[in-house]
Amino acid sequence: MAEALRRVATGIGRGLRLRCPRCGRAPLYRGWFTMNAVCPVCYLKFERAQGYWVGAIYVNYAVTTLVAVTGYFLLWARTDLSTAAQLWIWLPFCVVFPLWFFRYSRSLWLAVEYGLNPNP
């Protein structure tokens, strides 16, 4: 159990840098949305099964929702912005943020899954 937690923690650190969760040396992406199929250094296969990235979609959605809802309530409590005014703030955020966070949600999903299941 302790070994798995160590792998998860190491993998998350590497995932935040968009690096391979196993070796940490190779980048996960070769373009903004184009992910490498395998690590060119340690040959870890990134997409382990068909539909593997569905979990990353949930991570992306959860983080976007958490930030938007928390931000809404913080602005609601600390400013006098109307709900309509906040809609103009949070609607563009909810469109742009998931596109930016896409790479990170995949890398974090891969890091946690690799930490818990290093042998596919």
Domain ranges of the chain: 2-116
The pTM assigned to this predicted structure is: 0.85
Each residue's pLDDT tens digit in the chain (120 positions)? 788 888 889 989 999 999 999 999 999 999 888 999 999 999 989 888 888 899 999 999 999 999 999 999 999 999 988 989 999 999 999 999 999 999 999 999 999 988 888 876
Q: Residue 47 — φ and ψ, nearest 5°?
A: -90, 105
